Amino acid sequence: MKFKILIFLSFIQIFQAQFTNINIVKEIHSKDKGMVVSAHPLASEAGAKILKMGGNAFDAAIATQFALAVVYPQAGNIGGGGFLVGTTNKGEKFALDYRETAPIKASKDMYLDEKGNANTDLSQNGRLAVGVPGSISGMFYTHKKFGKLPMSALIQPAIDLAEKGFAVTLREANLLNSTKEDFLKHNSHKTAFTKDIPWKQGDLLIQKELANTLKAIQKNGEKGFYEGKNAQFLVDEMKKGNGIISLEDLKNYKTRERKVLSFDYKGNEIISMPLPSSGGPLLAQMLKMASYENLEKYEQNSPEALQIMVEAERRAYADRAEYMGDPDFIEDKTQMLISDEYLKNRWKNFSFEKATPSADVGNIISQPKESEQTTHISIIDKFGNAASITTTLNGLYGSKVVVKGGGYFLNNEMDDFSVKPGVPNMFGAVGGEANSIVPNKRMLSSMTPTIVLKNGKPYIVVGTPGGTTIPTSVFQSIVNAIDFKLSPNFVINAPKFHHQWLPEVIYTEKNFPQHTIKVLEQKNYKFENRNVIGRTEMIFLDENGNAIAVADGRGDDSVAVE
Ligand code: GLY
């Protein structure tokens, strides 16, 4: 069938970065075409190229992830982990978990000093912070189950980008410069990421070692990463300092297929990531609690809407701290936590009169701070499949350690465990046991790759980076679209807020309505300004195949069409 193609750019900001020849496209409308939205234009283009070659959304997901590992080294990765939520044109719904795991030699108290205090420098920086990477396993698992094109074709765009180099964006140049001291501190060898003079926009970043690693994976499959020479490079890197990942850890790593977390929201089916991500459970809790107050009656970011949403966030995040962790190691209480019976009871002490004190909705236990990097990809194809992927190194450039000989950054995901559970905090309360460190356990995540289905077909594909702000950003995107019926650009780019039970503060982006802040301050809410919250990649589809893909305006994020 010959597709009638309608592609036009509307409200579209196309930035042709000087010197770089990189087109950053923020919004594309199309019909019966596949689309990719990611944090970097070259990664979106790599995915779109695979769609043009006849690949499906899952092939494009793999190619985009590999390309991000090259052109977006701050979060794109092969040394980290992620989640993929997908739907096929046959109606299958699935959730792949390729989250990092704690190494065999890890232990509950590994980050506590002799006085029992948590040493977060060790859980956040350097070799001891690294969890066993899952991304390569996840991509091969995706390919085996759902891929159409040969894997070698999906890796090739990333190899070309690593080998020939690409022009760094202004944002990437600034980040490479501001992280230079950390790169030097945590690497005794020369890496591709430091130069004698500062990086500037348009400079070529060439990654020969990474290209070789990708070629080994192309030739030998996932064993090209988890066994043989490349596995030895990673273990040798560990031995240069206090790292504990072994050859056995790498060989034993396995992707887990989970049952998608599925729930109804106002006649739409939402599918999202279950534990070990708190993302899906939190999203279900927040949407359901907000619906008890008929959120759609109010305007977006009005005092009433903000109060309802913040109070839903407060209650959900208190449950996160108490109950959530890796379901292979703890009892999974998700179905109870998202039941109306439980949530209606939880909502009973909500009042429009004043803020609910956080102490009234959960035991005050320490809430670990999470990094806000990470990256999201939303993809649809012309065959009716959709993929929503969030992948991460955790912090910016992860642990800052680059594997010598491998040329890629390792994650610092161990910091997503509760590094000090069971120890009373300043309030005398104890918590975080569900997310304590155990060998082979996956650390709790906030990543929320999500697909909304209408009449069984993909309607919205969405997700974002942002640590603990991920679930609240996805929550806002969904209510902006479904309850407040905003246009796609405003769904994503309207000023955002975030609350997470502790600290007892509402964070707002600049331009958040001052009137709303003033009204809620009188009800005992406290506000703080935050630079940017999340970078959401979203695709909307209607039943006739018309689609609008929008990339977040907060970064270099970009849409590409097949
Ligand atoms: N490291 C970010 C997350 O897993 O949510």
Share of the chain above pLDDT 90, in %: 85
Q: Which atom of ligand 1 is nearest to the CA of 413?
A: 1
pTM of the model: 0.94
Residue nearest to atom 4 of ligand 1 (CA): 445
Whether 255 is catalytic: no
Q: 430 is written with which tokens?
A: 């104890």
Once rounded to an integer, what is the mean pLDDT over residues 415-436? 63
- CA–CA gap between residue 239 and residue 127 (Å, rounded): 9
Given 101, 374, 450, 516, the catalytic residue: 374
pLDDT tens, position by position, 8-48 = 343 344 444 434 567 899 999 999 999 999 999 999 999 99
Q: What is the pLDDT of residue 531?
A: 87
pLDDT tens, position by position, 261-311 = 999 999 999 999 999 999 999 999 999 999 999 999 999 999 999 999 999
Rg of the Cα trace of the chain?
22
With a 6 Å cutoff on the Cβ, whether 445 touches ligand 1 is yes
Residue nearest to atom 1 of ligand 1 (CA): 394
Phi, psi of 66 (to 5 degrees): -60, -45
Residue 402 Cα, ligand 1 centroid: separation in angstroms? 20
pLDDT tops 60 at residue 121: yes
Using 50, 70 and 90 to split pLDDT, how confident is the model at 373?
Answer: confident
What torsion, rounded to 10 degrees, do the Cα atoms 306, 307, 310, 311 define?
Answer: -160
Angle of helix 57-71 relative to helix 208-220, nearest 10 degrees, comes to 150
Q: What is the pLDDT of residue 428?
A: 34
Domain boundaries, the chain: 1-562
The pairing of strands 450-454 and 457-463 is antiparallel
Once rounded to an integer, what is the mean pLDDT over residues 169-188? 96
Using 50, 70 and 90 to split pLDDT, how confident is the model at 321?
Answer: confident
pLDDT tops 50 at residue 426: no
More confident residue, 500 or 224: 224
Q: What is the pLDDT of residue 418?
A: 87
Q: What is the pLDDT of residue 413?
A: 94
